[in-house]
Amino acid sequence: MSRNLELFERGKQSIPGGVNSPVRAFGSVGGTPRFVKKALGAHFWDADDKRYIDYIGSWGPAILGHAHPEVIAAVQQAAVGGLSFGAPTEAEIEIAEEIRKLLPSVELVRLVSSGTEATMSAIRLARGYTGRDAIIKFEGCYHGHSDSLLVKAGSGLLTFGNPSSGGVPADFTRHTLVLEYNNVEQLERTFAEIGNSIACVILEPIAGNMNLIKPSEAFVKALRALTEKHGSVLIYDEVMTGFRVGLGCAQGLHGIQPDLTTLGKVVGGGMPLAAFGGRADIMSCIAPLGNVYQAGTLSGNPVAVAAGLTTLRQIQRPGFYDELSASTRRLAMGLEAAARDAGVTMCADSVGGMFGLYFCEQVPASYAEVTASDRERFNRFFHAMLEEGVYLAPSAYEAGFVSIAHTDAIIDETIDAARRAFARV
Ligand code: PMP
């Protein structure tokens, strides 16, 4: 029996579904999850010592590749100095200064331990600042698992959402309106009707949780103009896109200054660290300055901060994002060409170190378009690639991630593997 299967069966005896986060269980693609033994650069090894080229990179954080020597050294050094204090440190100020330097929209920033905490806190803050309850999110965007965000659209334009998870009282999603990504007209109509009661709009400024979906320029501009006009807080959830699509994040690419920004993944360099920040007048409503409560025993954890700070310094090397974007584009275009040659309907897109593969004719622009793609074919392709030693996201509706450790040779090896895989799917 494969050791992965053995571990999966054993894990299920002690852990729900054998995993600590659902997508790891391969529920959408079927088969046996790979248990990671170790990882280095662009690769990881599973419990059977099989090597994979890794295209999820911990779902985003591993932008430098796994176990980058400088990050590991910083973590080791920090750990020796103590693991957690519950009192402030200088390194927390340093990482806050680094974030402010890279993101002009962020005047004050607070550290937390997960993306879920960052978005949950940003929304509480937006509500506290505006004194309003209603929030807008978009279908297909994921912002972590806090109650008021686990919501699916109601039946009419102005009907608020219903829980998309068990255990969430309908009362908790009563204030969340779910709109369609890239639908400018619907957004305008909504703001015309109830704009003055909207506390905030939260979005993935480039969506990565419904595969990769880019916003139109018109959508981005409308979001900024309408929230400004109606006194609503615009929250760019850059947990995934932050320092992933470019040094200035998605807001830099869009030329937009959001009111609040949430960060996670890359900012923590693979350790549990996330952040939310933005306009000083809004951020000043947070305790201890204001009456919006937010706290954390492990917030600003010294080992996590060391990993994050070292990562933020590494990505500022001149040419880093040109190189990363070129590698990612090489992969996306190479896979698209391999599919075309094999007569498989598939297209691809990329931005910075993030890519999308879509088993349909055209790059989708909304959740409805993404979910119309050929999921069964993706699943066959996923397993064929796994056999070839390439680990893609185990779901047709997730984006993929390339690191700076993915050399052209590794990308080309992936494309060769895909040529063989396409011939089989
Ligand atoms: N926001 C976005 C855009 C995300 O992609 C994620 C995680 N995939 C989250 C929030 C939640 O972050 P975490 O898993 O660290 O709680």
Predicted pLDDT at 284: 98
pLDDT in tens, 308-339: 999 999 999 999 999 999 999 999 999 999 99
Q: Give distance in angstroms: CA of 150 to centre of ligand 1.
A: 13
Predicted pLDDT at 46: 98
For the chain, the C-alpha Rg in angstroms (whole number) is 21
Q: Which atom of ligand 1 is nearest to the CA of 274?
A: 15
Residue from 173, 128, 180 nearest 146 by CA:
173
Predicted pLDDT at 1: 84
**Residue numbers annotated as active site:** 142, 237, 265
| Residue pointed to by tokens 């088993």 | 359
Ligand 1 pocket mutation pick from 209, 236, 298 by most atoms within 8 angstroms of CB: 209
Distances (CA, A) of 20 to 17, 23, 25, 79: 8, 9, 9, 24
Residue-range domains of the chain with CATH: 3-63+319-424 (3.90.1150.10), 69-314 (3.40.640.10)
Pairing, β 347-351 against β 354-358: antiparallel
Task: State if residue 114 touches ligand 1 by the CB under 6 angstroms criterion.
Answer: yes
Q: Which atom of ligand 1 is nearest to the CA of 272?
A: 15
Task: State if residue 142 touches ligand 1 by the CB under 6 angstroms criterion.
Answer: yes
Q: Give distance in angstroms: CA of 398 to centre of ligand 1.
A: 12
Predicted pLDDT at 154: 80
Report the predicted TM-score, pTM, of the whole model to 2 decimal places. Answer: 0.98
Q: Which atom of ligand 1 is nearest to the CA of 116?
A: 16
Q: What is the DSSP letter of 285?
A: T
Q: d(Cα 307, Cα 8) in Å, to the nearest integer?
A: 30
Predicted pLDDT at 293: 98
Q: How many CA atoms lie within 13 A of 246 on its CB side?
A: 13
Contacts of 404 (CB under 8 A, 6+ apart): 63, 64, 65, 320, 323, 324, 327, 353
DSSP states along 35-74: PEEEEEBTEEEETT--EEEESSGGGTT-TT-BT-HHHHHH
Predicted pLDDT at 153: 84
The tens-digit pLDDT sequence of the chain (425 residues) is 899 999 999 999 999 999 999 999 999 999 999 999 999 999 999 999 999 999 999 999 999 999 999 999 999 999 999 999 999 999 999 999 999 999 999 999 999 999 999 999 999 999 999 999 999 999 999 999 999 999 998 877 678 889 999 999 999 999 999 999 999 999 999 999 999 999 999 999 999 999 999 999 999 999 999 999 999 999 999 999 999 999 999 999 999 999 999 999 999 999 999 999 999 999 999 999 999 999 999 999 999 999 999 999 999 999 999 999 999 999 999 999 999 999 999 999 999 999 999 999 999 999 999 999 999 999 999 999 999 999 999 999 999 999 999 999 999 999 999 999 999 98
Ligand 1 pocket mutation pick from 123, 239, 273 by most atoms within 8 angstroms of CB: 239
Task: State if residue 237 touches ligand 1 by the CB under 6 angstroms criterion.
Answer: yes
